């Protein structure tokens, strides 16, 4: 179906693709793994016609794609690409993106066709998407924007034969990811679709691919059947040292009795009804890591926002009376493009903007202190960049790590984590979990929302939200992914909890 032959790509001194060769057969699902900055997105964009290669050949169904390649040529040969970064227009409606993607299709009847096509794809992929084709993109949640972006990439008049998905589930909860993979399998079985999947969520790549290709520093280093792969093996293939910790889900730990927990309460929420939340109560103590679980859009992010807003001077009355936070707050967003990064600034400035007062004397930043601070973080969480690089030249996972460093370096009393590991590779995740634990040991309270259930096992306690209410509080002894899933579904859902 696809043959990539000796493809090279450089950005200045960075070798993003180094003699990459790869074959994908009809109906095959192939996972591409690799550390942040290994060159996965670059390869995807070269195949999809977004980025030009310096050398090498791309052959689809026996036909060589031109160089410079174009999106149109790639699409005409049946190749579609869903990007890692959300590339939608906030001020356009959902269906209008179908027209924007291919202006040659815009004629008198296009609006009706576009609405029908995007709805059909969304319904087929994500039965519970809740997205109206008429909605403005700005009104959609990050997960909805991700669903829309994937569905949009598959709207094609002549059908798709190879679908490249770059981090498709990074903002999707486990149940939405399950829907997506069910769709992909159906398309493969019925229409022979080939799929290339790039994902840092271990469950995605280990459970849903026939073969795994590992890239390291721009080159393909391993190509083996996924059935032969373990998490440890994958990390070794990706270049992790043999003694690196694995972020594997631990067993439920011993139950602890916290009735005599005397640590200070940092976050106290009681009777909070705001946006989608109904009478929510929760606490986070100093040194505690508390997770928020539940199905997509059941109030988790509303709760994070309410806690964050409680420190604002102007805040809704309902938050004022229901939420108190003692001490300073730092916030790490997973929606890096919209609410995290300063796109015109360097890596270093993006990182230190939250700690400038501690890096200054007499109101002026001391460059030595700043560069010491940034180089320490760049090393600690393996950011593949230097402090002076522009943030936009970093790979997605490396951009996300800069935001993590910004939040952690503030050593706040409360650290709010809003899916902070979106697109961060598994080797770094293990190290970052350890750093979070260090922060907590130093007294920081951590409130953590994640779209990946296994990540919740890193927490001391987890609140499960269901339709805006706290449906369960799981303490360390009861904390398993099964318990989380069970508490996420309502009693009336038919069997979803066990599927
Ligand atoms: N437009 C660009 N300008 C300069 N360097 C770039 C550009 N795009 C990518 N790079 C560099 O190329 C390398 C590969 O980046 P790429 O985005 O392909 O990595 P990736 O494997 O997708 O990583 P991640 O897992 O974080 O998404 C990185 O070192 C990155 O900094
Ligand atoms: Mg990438």
Terminal-to-terminal C-alpha distance of the chain: 33
pLDDT score recorded for residue 495 = 43
CA distances from 304 to 83, 208, 272 (A): 27, 32, 12
For 247-268, how does the pLDDT look when each residue is reduced to its tens digit (9 = 90+)?
765 555 555 566 678 899 999 9
* 488 CB within 6 A, ligand 1: no
461 Cβ neighbours under 8 A, 6+ residues apart = 258, 288, 289, 290, 291, 473, 474, 475, 476, 479
Within 13 A of 415's CA, how many CA atoms are on the CB side? 33
Helical H segments across 192-260, by residue range: 202-207, 231-237
Closest residue CA from atom 18 of ligand 1: 39
Q: How far apart are CA 82 and CA 195, in angstroms?
A: 11
* CATH architecture label of 2-237: 3-Layer(aba) Sandwich (3.40)
**Is 77:44 a contact under the CB 8 Å cutoff?**
no
- In this prediction, residue 492 carries a pLDDT of 54
Residue nearest to atom 6 of ligand 1 (CA): 393
> Which of ligand 1's atoms lies nearest the C-alpha of 399?
26
Strand ranges, E, within 309-359: 323-325, 329-333
Task: Give the pLDDT confidence score for residue 133 in this predicted structure.
Answer: 97
Q: How far is CA 90 from CA 96, 141, 419, 439, in A?
A: 11, 11, 21, 36
DSSP state of 279: S
Read off the pTM. 0.91
Strand order in the sheet with 63-64: 14-24, 2-11, 55-60, 63-64
pLDDT tens-digit profile of 435-463?
999 999 999 999 999 998 889 999 999 99
**Residue 266 structure tokens:** 């940092």
Q: What is the pLDDT of residue 497?
A: 40
Question: How much distance in Å is there from the Cα of 98 to the middle of ligand 2?
Answer: 24
- Using a 6 Å cutoff on CB, does residue 40 contact ligand 1? yes
Task: Give, using CA atoms, the residue closest to atom 16 of ligand 1.
Answer: 39
Angle between helices 426-441 and 396-409 (to 10 degrees): 10
| pLDDT of res. 48 | 95
Cα 18 to averaged position of ligand 1 atoms, centre (Å) = 13
Provide the Cα torsion 467, 472, 478, 483; round to 10°. -30
Q: Counting ligands in written order, which one lies closest to the CA of residue 382? A: 1
Q: What is the CATH number of domain 265-488?
A: 3.40.50.300
Can you read off the two tokens belonging to residue 142?
């990050």
41 CA distance to ligand 2 middle (Å): 4
* C-alpha 349 – ligand 1 centre gap (Å): 19
Residue 215 alpha carbon, nearest atom of ligand 1: 21
Angle at 458 between CA 455 and CA 462, to 5 degrees: 85
Residue 394 C-alpha to ligand 2 middle, in angstroms? 9
Residue nearest to atom 29 of ligand 1 (CA): 37
Stretches where the chain sits below pLDDT 50 are: 494-499
Supply the residue whose CA is at minimum distance from atom 31 of ligand 1.
394
DSSP label of 478: G
Burial class (CB in 10 A: 0-12, 13-18, 19+), 84: buried
- Closest C-alpha to ligand 1, atom 2: 393
What is the pLDDT at residue 157? 80
Would the CA dihedral through 223, 228, 234, 240 be positive or negative? negative
14 lines ligand 1 (CB under 6 A): yes
Q: What is the pLDDT of residue 254?
A: 57
458 CA from centroid of ligand 2 (Å): 25
Give residue 499's pLDDT.
36
The pLDDT assigned to 58 comes to 96
Residue 199 C-alpha to ligand 2 middle, in angstroms?
A: 9
Question: In angstroms, rounded to a whole number, what is the distance separating the alpha carbons of residues 290 and 461?
Answer: 5
**By three-state DSSP, how is residue 103 classified?**
helix
**For ligand 1, atom 8: residue with the closest CA:** 393
- What's the pLDDT at 253? 53
For the chain, where do the domains classified as CATH 3.40.50.300 start and end?
A: 2-237, 265-488
Please work out whether the CB of residue 400 comes within 6 Å of at least one atom of ligand 1. Answer: no
247 C-beta closer than 6 A to ligand 1: no
Query: Token pair of 418, please?
Result: 């809003």
- Taking only Cα atoms into account, the Rg of the chain, rounded to an integer number of angstroms, comes to 23
Query: Token digits for 112?
Result: 């009706």
Report how far ligand 2's centroid is from the alpha carbon of 284 (Å).
34
pLDDT of residue 394: 96
Question: What pLDDT shows up at residue 100?
Answer: 87
Q: How many CB atoms lie within 10 A of CB 62?
A: 7
Residues 6+ apart with CB under 8 A from 103: none
Give the pairing of strands 162-166 and 79-82: parallel
Pocket of ligand 1, candidates 16, 36, 168: which has the most ligand atoms within 8 Å of its Cβ, to mutate? Answer: 16
Cα torsion through 428, 430, 431, 436, rounded to 10: 120
10, 11, 20, 50, best to mutate for ligand 1 pocket (most atoms within 8 Å of CB): 11
């Amino acid at each position: 179906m696809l043959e990539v032959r000796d493809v090279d790509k450089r950005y200045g001194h960075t070798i993003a693709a180094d003699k990459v060769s790869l074959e994908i057969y009809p109906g095959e699902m192939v996972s591409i793994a690799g550390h942040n900055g290994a060159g996965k997105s670059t390869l995807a964009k070269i195949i999809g016609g977004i980025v030009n290669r310096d050398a090498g050949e791309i052959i689809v169904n026996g036909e060589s794609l031109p160089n410079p390649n174009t999106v149109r040529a790639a699409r005409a040969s049946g190749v579609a690409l869903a990007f890692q970064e959300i590339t939608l227009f906030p001020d356009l409606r959902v269906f209008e993106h179908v027209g924007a993607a291919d202006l040659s299709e815009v004629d008198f009847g296009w609006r009706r066709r576009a609405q029908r096509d995007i709805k059909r794809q969304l319904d087929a992929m994500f039965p519970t998407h809740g997205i109206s084709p008429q909605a403005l993109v700005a009104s959609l949640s990050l997960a909805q924007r991700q669903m829309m972006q994937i569905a949009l990439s598959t709207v094609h008049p002549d059908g798709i034969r190879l679908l490249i998905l770059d981090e498709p589930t990074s903002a999707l909860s486990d149940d939405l990811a399950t829907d997506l993979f069910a769709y992909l399998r159906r398309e493969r079985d019925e229409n022979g679709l080939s799929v290339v999947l790039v994902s840092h969520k271990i469950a995605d790549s280990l459970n849903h691919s026939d073969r795994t290709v590992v890239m390291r520093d721009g080159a393909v280093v391993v190509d083996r059947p996924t059935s032969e792969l373990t998490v440890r093996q994958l990390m070794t293939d990706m270049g992790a040292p043999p003694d690196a910790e694995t972020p594997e889900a631990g067993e439920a730990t011993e139950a602890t009795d916290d009735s005599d927990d005397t640590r200070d309460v940092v976050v106290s929420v009681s009777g909070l009804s705001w946006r989608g939340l109904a009478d929510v109560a929760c606490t986070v103590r100093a040194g505690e890591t508390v997770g928020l679980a539940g199905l997509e859009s059941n109030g988790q992010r509303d709760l994070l926002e309410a806690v964050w807003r409680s420190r604002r001077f102007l805040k809704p009355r309902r938050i004022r009376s229901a939420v108190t936070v003692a001490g300073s707050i730092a916030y790490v967003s997973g929606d890096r493009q919209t609410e995290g990064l300063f796109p015109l600034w360097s890596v270093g400035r993006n990182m230190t903007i939250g700690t400038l007062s501690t890096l200054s004397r007499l109101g002026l930043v001391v460059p030595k202190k700043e560069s010491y601070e940034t180089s320490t973080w760049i090393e600690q969480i393996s950011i593949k960049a230097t402090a002076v690089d522009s943030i936009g030249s970093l790979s997605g996972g490396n951009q996300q790590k800069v935001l993590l460093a910004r939040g952690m370096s503030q050593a706040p009393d409360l650290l709010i984590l809003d899916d902070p590991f979106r697109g961060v590779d598994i080797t770094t995740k293990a190290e970052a979990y350890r750093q979070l634990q260090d922060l907590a040991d130093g007294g920081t309270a951590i409130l953590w929302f994640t779209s990946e259930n296994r990540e919740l096992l890193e927490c001391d306690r987890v609140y499960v939200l269901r339709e805006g209410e706290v449906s369960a509080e799981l303490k360390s002894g009861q904390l398993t992914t099964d318990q989380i899933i069970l508490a996420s579904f309502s009693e009336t859902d038919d069997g979803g909890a066990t599927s």
